[in-house]
Structure 1
Amino acid sequence: MTVTNDPMRDPYDVLGVTRSATSADIKKAFRKLAKAWHPDQRPDDPKAKERFAEISSAYELLSDENKRGQFDRGEIDAEGKPRFRGFEGASARPGAGARGSHFEFDLGGSPFGGARRGFGGGGGGEDIFEDILGAFGGRRPRGGAGFGGEPPRGEDVTAEIAVPFREWARGAKRRVRLPTGKELEVSVPAGIEEGKSIRLKGQGQASGFGGAPGDALVRVRVAPDPQFRAEGRDVRVEVPVALYEAVLGAKVRVPTLDGAVELKVPAGSDGGRTLRLRGKGIGAEGSAGDLLVELRIALPPGGDPKLEELAKRLRDEAPYDPRG
């Protein structure tokens, strides 16, 4: 990351307090701003780490009575550097020459700076620092690792693929184009729940801070099929049979997800009867559901005089009530 040499703002303005503010006022303002601008609180804001560093530096200066007095008298600037010639090469880190423990930011070594120790003065700064980090999981910065222990990862991206029913039921590989422009082959698990997403690790946006890339989430949409419909892990298909096939029994060809097979229709089968083919439903071989074949009796198109005569004879000679 490139760090500019723009002069730091007045620390009173940074914390939003007046020059007559008490130490308690300054600490209260710092707590509020530091929690609001902590990089873990704003992972998507590229300015958060710089703003947090500015807030921390302002507090480091104003919380130290000696340095605050020097600043108020015009002896040092907002960066803690003397205001007279001969010190242009002095450290630009706030508090670099201050007594006691201090808080330094080195924005060049890590995304949020190599935060070292506490704040100027004494042990009170250490306590407030722990309080603020405690709001974000209690994690202290580690040298070169940034806040939270590691650089933030890249953003996740989302995409959607439509999978034909038969491929979805058996599992398939489909190509998908991500918002990043990358095109990948995705393995679609057999029978994955529609609307669920497949996570592709590390295929999202790159991290702008040297962290791991985000993931790609590919949402699966199942394209409907004109013949088949899912019922859990089973698949239902409707098959027309002739009246004489239903009455006398027959062997008929029925469609399955893997191609047509021959099915025996028992004699005396009613319309709506369901026959089951084991292992021909949704899922990989060996774990698939069943194919449910629903019979639908189809009369000859345009009518048939002989069939009408037969029906009349049945009505007159052997009537029955199927609804009784």
Structure 2
Amino acid sequence: MRDPYDILGVARTADQPEIKRAFRRLAKKLHPDANKGDPTAQDRFAELNSAHEILSDPEKRGQFDRGEIDAEGKPKGFEGFPGGGQGFERGFRRGGFGRGPGGETIFESFSYGPEGARRSGHGPHDAGGFDDVISDILGGLGGGARGRRGRAGGAGGEVPRGGDVEIKVPVSLENVIEGGPVKVHLPNGRAVEVKIPAKVAEGHRMRLKGQGEPSPFGGAPGDAYVVIAYAPHRHFRVEGADLRTDVPLPLALAVTGGKVRVPTLSGEVELSVPAWTNSGRTFRLRGRGLPKAQDAMGDLFATMRIMLPEERDPELEALMTRRQDGTI
């Protein structure tokens, strides 16, 4: 048997969702009901399912990657099972080879007849796995398969819908406060504008119905959930619902005191600093931060950073020199 990764067409670094998508895509294409004129369809589908059984099980996948089992899921050196007939059989080990700790059968057989895919002899941990996937696949194969199964992967004969997706959208801190339109890129490649309300906190979710992943079986598409994320800001550092910023403090004001202008998300405000304010002193501006629960707002913490004049000041230099020499 070929390498399971080659059969599914995925890289060895593929994660479980990628493996699942590859299997569903190929299973719909290779299922015997969709290839009734191809005598090799059953064997190809059996090979596909065997590859999926190994790669979808983290324990088996690890054993295969380490060379402990072969591409059929058998321990290296194992000769296989005798017999033949229609369909295919695969044995695998879960807590013992052949039977589980309670003596239950843990071999699986799959065959294809007038009633479609049938499974027998599965172990106690297999519920909801292969059967659910096959149900989804048969639901997308048209009237014949659907008529035999009766349902197409859900109660009431509903065709499985596409998957939901989350789309994180970076939003400027100003837009978080004011609200307004943001551009969202959807899985189908389209770009739409979504209006966010004013004063939304990071993690706020908005549902776009029917804008998620398409259904591989012809059902309704899933939904897209736009999740608000704070974009980096050149002035502010985010700490929960609070903001921090550094404010240049002229040396003269640090000595004599006075008013400095502090940036906020809604414009600059004046802050009075007392005389002899050291660099690093922090002032709290209540309610000037980011949205919190129950319509409350975080705070803005402004830290003073003493700045020398941009141009050299001879008088200041002379004053500092006399003070250093002790002459004043």
The TM-score bracket by the shorter chain reads 0.5 to 0.7
Distance 1:247 1:211 in 2: 72
Say if 2:278 is the partner of 1:262.
no
Q: Which runs of 5+ in 1 are unaligned?
A: 18-24, 51-106, 116-142, 320-324
Match of 1:301 in 2: 310
The alignment partner of 1:41 has SS state of helix
From 282, 285, 300, the equivalent of 1:291 is 300
From 86, 90, 95, the equivalent of 1:13 is 86
Give 1:254 deviation, angstroms.
Answer: 1.6
Match of 1:72 in 2: none
Say if 2:133 is the partner of 1:41.
yes
| Percent identity for Structure 1 against Structure 2 | 40
TM-score (norm 2): 0.53
Distance 1:31 1:4, change over 3 A: closer
Contact 2:137 2:217 in 1 (8 A): no
Give 1:161 deviation, angstroms.
Answer: 3.4
Residue 239 of structure 2 aligns with an amino acid whose one-letter code is E
Distance 2:304 2:35 in 1: 81
Provide, for residues 130-170 of structure 1, a one-character-per-residue CA deviation record: whole Å limited to 9, x for no partner.
xxxxxxxxxxxxx6x43441431113346553333432465
Match of 2:222 in 1: 214
Say if 2:229 is the partner of 1:192.
no
Give 1:262 deviation, angstroms.
Answer: 1.2
The alignment partner of 1:257 has SS state of coil
Distance 1:306 1:6, change over 3 A: closer
Give 1:300 deviation, angstroms.
Answer: 1.5
Distance 1:113 1:318 in 2: 104
* RMSD between aligned residues: 4.3
Between the two proteins, the alignment pairs up a number of residues equal to 221
Contact 1:112 1:147 in 2 (8 A): no
Give 1:270 deviation, angstroms.
Answer: 0.7
Distance 1:28 1:49 in 2: 24
From 214, 238, 255, the equivalent of 1:230 is 238
Residue 13 of structure 1 aligns with an amino acid whose one-letter code is Q
Give 1:273 deviation, angstroms.
Answer: 0.8
Provide, for residues 66-97 of structure 1, a one-character-per-residue CA deviation record: whole Å limited to 9, x for no partner.
xxxxxxxxxxxxxxxxxxxxxxxxxxxxxxxx
Q: Which runs of 5+ in 2 are unaligned?
A: 1-32, 43-84, 91-104, 110-118
The alignment partner of 2:259 has SS state of strand
Distance 2:295 2:165 in 1: 35
Distance 1:160 1:42 in 2: 33
Residue 238 of structure 1 aligns with an amino acid whose one-letter code is D
Give 1:191 deviation, angstroms.
Answer: 3.6
Contact 2:174 2:265 in 1 (8 A): yes
Match of 1:31 in 2: 120
Contact 2:205 2:228 in 1 (8 A): yes
Distance 1:264 1:318 in 2: 32
Contact 1:170 1:283 in 2 (8 A): no
Distance 1:5 1:164 in 2: 53
Match of 2:257 in 1: 249
Provide, for residues 30-58 of structure 1, a one-character-per-residue CA deviation record: whole Å limited to 9, x for no partner.
416998752x2357x746876xxxxxxxx
Distance 1:4 1:249 in 2: 83
Distance 1:314 1:114, change over 3 A: farther
Say if 2:154 is the partner of 1:108.
no
Distance 1:32 1:302 in 2: 87
Distance 1:5 1:302 in 2: 83
Residue 86 of structure 2 aligns with an amino acid whose one-letter code is D
Say if 2:321 is the partner of 1:312.
yes
Provide, for residues 171-216 of structure 1, a one-character-per-residue CA deviation record: whole Å limited to 9, x for no partner.
54312131214433335573415xx976534321343556442122
Matches within 5 A, 1:89-238: 108=143, 112-113=146-147, 115=149, 145-149=151-155, 150-157=158-165, 159=167, 161-168=169-176, 171-188=179-196, 190-192=200-202, 199-207=207-215, 209=217, 211-218=219-226, 222-238=230-246
